[in-house]
Amino acid sequence: MLFQIVIGNVNLKEGGYVVKRVVAIVVTYNRVEYLKECVRAILKQNSPVSEVLVIDNHSSDDTQDYMESIADNHFRVNYVRLSKNIGGSGGFFEGIKHSMSLNPDYLWIMDDDTIADQNTLSRLLDADRVLDSDWGFLSSNVRWKDGTSAKMNQLMPEKFWSEKVDDGLIAVRSGTFVSVLVKSTDVKKYGLPIPEFFIWGDDTEYTQRMSSDHQGYFVANSHVVHKTQQNLNVDIINEKIEKKLARYFYSYRNSFYNSRMENRGWIFFFKSLVTLTRLIKSNDRLKWKKIGMLCKGLYKGAFFNPEIRFYRS
């Protein structure tokens, strides 16, 4: 039987395994009902988090009232309200930066529509033990509301993906900010997310950076539900909602940047030209707006070179 000894901020279990100090980071914007469910799930983990840090991108709903009430009643819950909406990317930049002052070993990062089950974190920490802490990031198995795989969060396996498959671990190239674990030591070494991304692609860039020297893994038995409205991938061809088209500027700009950093910029550029050709030939009523966003994103992406910022204590 395992027993637990608490010495300051360090927890020891039988056999000398050091239990990691984990800070959960949630970025939210105007989705208070999802946020409530997300925070409740974090606080019910079988492996308790040390702290919860919620970054509020200046929500205009009841988020502030909810968070101020729960922070008063839960000593582990921390709330930071930003002065304006700086996008998901800016929120994760601020979240990881603020969390480092809480002295974590590991950071557990997620959007506000990420709902963990009780074992989600413990399964990530099991993977940490199996790998003897030799990893760049650990990503959960993201499902949609009906239990099927979340299309927005499917990961690309590495060429030699199966080395740890018997342990339920698959080597992957990048992760998403829908339940991913990173180390505070790697944050100090590799820096913070890029806030200028605003939305989309920031998690790909960041997890690839985190795994520069150590492999990242998909942890098959660590489950979360991603409560998006529809189970769809980002796809400008099939986008029907006009007000969402502006996001595709960031998608193409940021993806072009990420591809350039992998020396695959020309591949992404030519794939984008194929998409552009399909749009030109289509009868889509929004095609000219879509073409404008795609072209603007590609143009800006060719010259986009944001600074990598580092945490300073």
Going along the chain from its start, the domains and CATH numbers come out as: 4-226 (3.90.550.10), 242-303 (no CATH)
287 Cβ neighbours under 8 A, 6+ residues apart: 279, 280
Q: What is the CB neighbour count within 10 angstroms for residue 57?
A: 20
Hey, what amino acid is at 146? Answer: D
CA 105 from centroid of its chain's CA atoms: 18
Question: What is the token pair recorded at 236?
Answer: 């400008």
SS3 116: strand
Residue numbers in the chain where pLDDT is lower than 70: 1-17
pTM of the model: 0.93
Query: Is 230:271 a contact under the CB 8 Å cutoff?
Result: no
pLDDT of 72 reads: 85
pLDDT of 262 reads: 95
pLDDT of 6 reads: 29
Quick one: which of 183, 185, 208, 212 has its CA closest to 197?
208
Own/partner long-range contacts of 163-168 (Cβ < 8 Å, ≥24 apart): 164/130, 164/131, 164/217, 167/127, 167/130, 168/127, 168/219, 168/220, 168/221
- Integer angstrom CA distances of residue 32 from 45, 66, 118: 20, 8, 21
Indicate the length of the chain as a whole number: 313
Query: Is 201:120 a contact under the CB 8 Å cutoff?
Result: no
Hey, what amino acid is at 121? Answer: L
